[in-house]
Amino acid sequence: MVLVADLSQEAEETIINVYNRPREERPSPTFAVSTRMTEAKAAGQDVIDLSVGELSSPPTQDQRSNWRAQRLEKHDLAPDDVHYQLAQDTGKKHLLKYGPGQGNKGLRTIAAETFVQDTGIEVKECNVVISTGAKGVLAGVIGTLHGPEFVAAEVEGFFRISKEADKIIMFSPGWSNNFDLPNADVAIVEVNTQNRGVPTAKMVKDVLEAYPDAKQMLLNIPSNPTGVDISAQEREEIFAVIREHVKTHPNLLVVNDDPYGKLSFAENPSQVRGENEKALFESGNIAVVKSFSKEYAIPGARVGYIISKNTDVLKHVINHNNNKGTTASNKTQNTAHEVMLHGGDEFIREKIEELRPARDLLITKIDQTVGVTISAPEATIYGFADFSGWKGTIPADSDKPIKTPQDLHKYLETGLGVYMVPGTDFYAPGSPEASDCWSMRIGFAGDIKELEKALDRIQIASEQLKNPHDRINGGTDGQVLAR
C-alpha cells in the first residue's frame, strides 16, 4: 500500500528520549550490509543490492571535458579569475599539493553563487568551507560539543560535575552515522518523528521547551532514510518556532544536513527560503551542510561544504580540516568545481528524470505487495518501506515465524537474497523505538532491472506468507495472507 506522508496528523505527545553517546562507535550500516552481501555472493548466493546510496551514472569524462571546452570558448579568463585554474589542463602540479583548510577559492565562489541563486540568501565565498564530504563537515561542527566535565571533590564522592554535557537535538529515523558523530558522553536528545524523518513545528516546539539549553539541532530535510520532504509553508512554521526560541536562547545552532538538495520529484520544486529561515541565517543560527555526492553524482570525490554566517562554526570546520586531515584534495575539488560550474541544474534535472521511473516502479510494486506500505518518496534516492504487516507470519519455505525486525532482516537477506538497510539502524544507540522498527530503507538509484527483480521476489514471498494463528486453530499448513 502507498501512503501519503501527512505531517498534519501527529501524535498528541511528542516522543523524546535522551542518551549519552556511547564511547564505542557503531559500524556504518551501509558498509555492514555490503560486507554481508559480499560474503553471501562469495558463497554462491544470488544477491541484489538495494542498500546503495549513490547515483548509478556519474558525469562522464567526455561531459566534463565538454564543459571545460565550453567555458574556455565563452570566457577569456584572466589569471586572477577564480575559475582560471579550473579552465587549464587538470594535470597541473598544483593538483598534488596541499590545499587551503577552507577549500579552494574557485569552488567556494561557485558554491556561494549557487546557494544565493537557489535560496535567495545572500552569502559570499568567505561563508563557505570545503571538507571531505558532508561527513567531514558534520564531524567538524558536531565535534565541538562536549560531554560532562568532572572535577575532584572531597565531598559527595570523589568526582562531581562542574559542567553538564552539551545537548544536541536529533530526529529519528535519521542517518545512522549522524547519531555517532558527537563526542562520547554528549547528550543526544532524540525526537521520534513517527517514521517520517522530518519533524513538525509542534515537535520542534515541544523539544525546545523540554530542553531549552540545547546547543545544536540537526535537521535532515529532505530525509534520509524516508524520502519525505516538506512544503515551504511547513518549513517556515518550523523556523518560526526556532526564531522565537533564539530570542531567549541565542546560542542555538541549527545544522541543516542537506546533501540531497534539489533531488526532488515535486512538480515545481523551489529552494527559496522564507523570512524566518533567512533571519536565522543572517544571525548566524543556521549552518547548511551540502555535498556533491548525491546531487552531482560524484560520491567517490568525497567533497562536501558548509555555508554559514557563524564565523566560529566556520573556524571549527577549518581547524578540523587542518588537524584531522579532512581537507579535500585539490584534484577532487576541481572535479566538484567542474560539475557545479558547468553541469549545474541541467545535470541535476537529468538525474531526476533518470530516477523517476525507478521511483515510480518502487511505488507500484510496493502497492502490490501484501503486508508492506510505503510513503511515496518525495525527494532523495530512497523509500522507507514498512514491513510490519509481516510480523508473526511464516515464510512459505520455513516453519519459523518472523517475530522480530531482526528475523525480517535475516529472511530478506538469506531467504530472498535482497539486501537493504534495516530501519533499526536509523535511531540513536540504545533507542527503544529502534527495537520495534519494521521498516527497511530501499535505494532506487541503482540498476532499475535489479530493482524490479528484487521487488518481484518480495512481492511473490508476501503472497506466500502463512498466518501462524491458523495453525493454532488446527490448520496444518497455515492460511496464506489476504491482501
Q: Mind listing the pLDDT tens digit for each residue in 184-211?
A: 789 999 999 988 999 999 999 999 999 9
* Cβ-Cβ contacts under 8 Å for 291 (sequence gap 6 or more): 133, 134, 259, 303, 304, 305
pLDDT at 477: 47
Q: What integer is the mean pLDDT of 289-299?
A: 91
pTM of the model: 0.88
Whether the upstream peptide bond of residue 173 has omega within 30° of 0, thus cis, is: yes
- The top-scoring range by mean pLDDT among 82-86, 245-249, 338-342 is 245-249
Given a cut of 70, is residue 483 above it in pLDDT? no
Q: Among 78-92, 234-248, 368-382, which stretch is predicted with the lowest mean pLDDT?
A: 78-92
Rounded distance between C-alpha atoms, residue 127 and residue 122, angstroms: 10
pLDDT at 344: 76
pLDDT at 476: 43
Spell 404-423 as b/e; 16+ CB within 10 A means b.
ebebbbebbbeebbbbbbbb
pLDDT at 194: 86
pLDDT at 339: 85
Q: What integer is the mean pLDDT of 422-440?
A: 91
Q: Among 68-77, 111-120, 203-212, 338-347, which stretch is predicted with the lowest mean pLDDT?
A: 68-77
Percent of the chain surpassing pLDDT 70: 83
Q: What integer is the mean pLDDT of 64-70?
A: 61
Q: Chain-wide mean pLDDT for the chain?
A: 86
Rounded distance between C-alpha atoms, residue 30 and residue 27, angstroms: 9
Q: What integer is the mean pLDDT of 169-192?
A: 91
Whether the upstream peptide bond of residue 259 has omega within 30° of 0, thus cis, is: no
pLDDT at 158: 52
Rounded distance between C-alpha atoms, residue 261 and residue 345, angstroms: 11
Grid cell for residue 424: 533499526
For residue 284, report the phi and psi dihedrals to the nearest 5 degrees.
80, 15
Given a cut of 70, is residue 74 above it in pLDDT? no
Rounded distance between C-alpha atoms, residue 194 and residue 171, angstroms: 10
Strand partners, 386: 373, 439
pLDDT at 21: 79
Given a cut of 80, is residue 67 above it in pLDDT? no
pLDDT at 7: 46
Given a cut of 80, is residue 392 above it in pLDDT? yes
pLDDT at 164: 83
Rounded distance between C-alpha atoms, residue 63 and residue 66, angstroms: 5
Contact 120, 272 (CB under 8 A): yes
pLDDT band, residue 111 (cuts 50/70/90) = very high
pLDDT at 139: 93
Q: What integer is the mean pLDDT of 339-346?
A: 81
Contact 296, 336 (CB under 8 A): yes
Grid cell for residue 323: 588537524
| CA torsion, ordered 128, 132, 136, 137, to nearest 10 deg | 10
The residue extents of the domains of the chain are: 2-57+347-480, 82-343
Q: How far is CA 377 from the centre of its chain?
A: 14
Q: What integer is the mean pLDDT of 379-404?
A: 95
Rounded distance between C-alpha atoms, residue 249 and residue 242, angstroms: 10
Q: Among 22-36, 81-95, 184-198, 329-343, which stretch is predicted with the lowest mean pLDDT?
A: 81-95
* Cβ-Cβ contacts under 8 Å for 116 (sequence gap 6 or more): 122, 123
Q: Mind listing the pLDDT tens digit for each residue in 305-322?
A: 999 999 999 999 999 999
Domain 2-57+347-480 in this protein, CATH class: alpha beta
Q: What is the 3-state secondary structure (H, E, C) of the chain?
A: CEECCCCCCCCCCCEEEEEECCCCCCCCHHHHHHHHHHHHHHCCCCCEECCCCCCCCCCCHHHHHHHHHHHHHHCCCCCCCCCHHHHCCCCCHHHHCCCCCCCCHHHHHHHHHHHHHHHCCCCCHHHEEEECHHHHHHHHHHCCCCCCEEEECCCCCCEEEEECCCEEEEEECCCHHHHCCCCCCCEEEEEECCCCCCCCHHHHHHHHHHCCCCCEEEECCCCCCCCCCCCHHHHHHHHHHHHHHCCCCCCCEEEEECCCCCCECCCCCCCCCCHHHHHHHHCCCEEEEEECCCCCCCHHHCCEEEEECCHHHHHHHHHHHHHHCCCCCHHHHHHHHHHHHHHHHHHHHHHHHHHHHHHHHHHHHHHCCCCCEEECCCECCEEEEECHHHCCCECCCCCCCCCCHHHHHHHHHHHCCEECEEHHHCCCCCCCCHHHCCEEEEECCCCHHHHHHHHHHHHHHHHCCEECHHHHCCCCCCEECCC
Nearest to 159 by CA among 169, 148, 170: 148
Contact 394, 237 (CB under 8 A): no
Q: What integer is the mean pLDDT of 121-138?
A: 96
Q: What integer is the mean pLDDT of 4-17?
A: 64
Given a cut of 90, is residue 103 above it in pLDDT? yes
Q: Mind listing the pLDDT tens digit for each residue in 255-285?
A: 999 999 899 999 888 899 999 999 999 999 9
Q: Mind listing the pLDDT tens digit for each residue in 450-474?
A: 999 999 999 999 999 988 655 333 3
Higher pLDDT, 205 or 156: 205
Strand partners, 290: 305
Q: How far is CA 253 from the centre of its chain?
A: 19
**Range 82-343: architecture per CATH:** 3-Layer(aba) Sandwich (3.40)
Spell 325-341 as b/e; 16+ CB within 10 A means b.
ebbbbbebbbbbbbbbb
